[in-house]
Amino acid sequence: MARLKDLPEALSANLANLPCPEFADTPWVQPLPLAESRLALISTAGLHLRGDAPFNGFSGEYRVIPGDAAAGDLVMSHVSTNFDRSGFQQDLNLVLPLDRLRELVEQKAIGSLASYHYSFMGATDPAPMEQTAREVAGLLKGDGVDTVLLVPV
Amino acid sequence: MEQEGLATTQISLIREHSKTIKPPRALWVPFELGRPLGAPNDPDFQKRVLLAALKLLEAPSGPVLADFPEEAPASTAPAGPLACPISLPLEQADLASPEGLRQAFLQEVTQMGVWHREAEKKRGHTTYGASGLEPLEAARLLAGFLLGELPANPRDDLSLPALVKLASEDIKALYMEAITARPGGLTDSASLTDWFFGQCVAGRVFLQLREVMSQSPDKETRVVGGRLMIPVSQASRRLST
């Protein structure tokens, strides 16, 4: 249903008119075969550990999600009220598919998972996210990660 | 990420945005906002979405924008109008007065808390708690505004309006987790939102809060009350007596 025509008109117009950054070219890293790769998740759902600071403002900040996090460890403090949360409330995998990825590692379809995953809050201007995204990239590389799956909300 | 040497693939919910931004690899999915993997408690479907996004890593060149071929599995919608599943005699409550509304809200939250504890037992987890407040504390904070009082802020790391926003989402989480765990397993998000804002005292409190907070001299309070508590799909709802 994330077709613009299916959304309430005010929301659909807002999303259609949202300025998106445009880039002259698309950077391209040749990935390792999935079965040999170490994969991390980056979500923009505003997720964080229950005791961590809620997202507050639009500075492009991020939160760390330990690789062994369970559904009960995480809460959401995204600012928007215009996306469904009832599905996430029933099943974390709907927005952060950690269990599904763990299953794929067990089946040897994916080499391994990162020790830490990360969450940003969408609805933030991408510009201030560049610096924090580069910081996260450094953390991921330090963790031996080579491949990242980005999941919006 | 790619400039830093990390290969990426992603799920995309708004195809138009991905078409403009041109990320290296994106899988557009036709699911509603908030459900990037398609459906809760459907591991097989979620895995198909995941594998389709990961498959894009095999593409020899890009940018690649692929479309996921399946719609989300149908959600469970209610057979008839949902009522608020508590024993509160709503018709006897004085919802027109702020004090009556406050009392009815606190009672509803208490009774919903019973269903919520059952839901947490059944699922083994809850997403309630971003505000750091217990349900009745969260409800009292929201209700404080209804009486024209500026409630005290129990947290020193967040502004009062920011805490009100988190408390409002926690209250919604409490209600949604409670109702979705009840026998029958309702998962249709539109019905759930209509139920919360149309049938529950809490929804009435939110609508009333929008009115009160929109009049505040404080800008952040106006933004939270006016734009961050009621979804666009419910914005035209007005208080009826």
ipTM: 0.96
The pLDDT assigned to A19 comes to 86
- In the stretch 47-106 of chain A, residues with CB closer than 8 A to chain B read 50, 53-54, 56, 70-72, 74-77, 79-95, 97, 99-101, 103-104
Question: Are A85 and B231 inside 8 Å of each other by CB?
Answer: no
B83 in a structural domain = no
The answer to the question of residue B73 being in a domain is no
Span A79-118, pLDDT tens digits: 999 999 999 999 999 999 999 999 999 999 999 999 999 9
- Over the stretch A15-40, which tens digit does the pLDDT of each residue have? 888 888 888 899 999 999 999 999 99
Please indicate, yes or no, whether residues B98 and B208 belong to a single structural domain of this protein: yes
Q: Given the structure tokens 């009840």, which residue do they identify?
A: B182
> Domain for residue B239, yes or no?
no
Question: Are B52 and B101 members of one domain?
Answer: no
Residue with tokens 């215009």: A82
- The answer as to whether B143 is a domain residue is yes
Domain that holds residue B27: 10-67
| pLDDT at site B185 | 61
Question: Residue A113: phi, psi to the nearest 5?
Answer: -110, 155
Indicate if B108 and B207 belong to the same structural domain: yes
> Does residue B147 sit in the same domain as residue B196?
yes
A53 contacts: CB under 8 Å, gap ≥ 6: A63, B157
pLDDT at residue number B158: 95
Q: Three-class SS of residue A102? A: helix
Q: Domain check: are B225 and B112 in the same one?
A: yes
* Contact list, A10 vs chain B (CB under 8 Å): 232, 235
CA distance A140 to A146: 8
Q: Domain map of chain A by residue range?
A: 36-151
With contacts defined as CB-CB under 8 Å, which chain B residues touch A26?
2, 22-24, 62-63
Q: Is residue B78 part of a domain?
A: no
The pTM is what? 0.93
The separation between CA A54 and the C-alpha centre of its own chain, rounded to angstroms, equals 16
Same domain, B37 and B140: no
B208 shares a domain with B104? yes
pLDDT tens column, B28-49: 999 999 999 999 999 999 999 9
If asked whether residues B103 and B221 sit together in one domain, one would say yes
Within-domain flag for B74: no
Q: Residue A96 has what DSSP assignment?
A: S
What is the total count of domains within chain B? 2
Distance CA A132, CA A137 (A): 9
Q: What is the pLDDT of residue B91?
A: 60
Low-confidence ranges of chain B (pLDDT < 50): 241
Do B230 and B115 have their domain in common?
A: yes
- Alpha-carbon gap, residue A73 to B42, rounded angstroms: 21
The total number of residues written for chain A in this structure = 153
**Whole-angstrom distance, CA of residue A86 vs CA of residue B129:** 15
- Which of B50, B163, B189 is most worth mutating to test chain A (most A CB atoms within 10 A of its CB)? B50
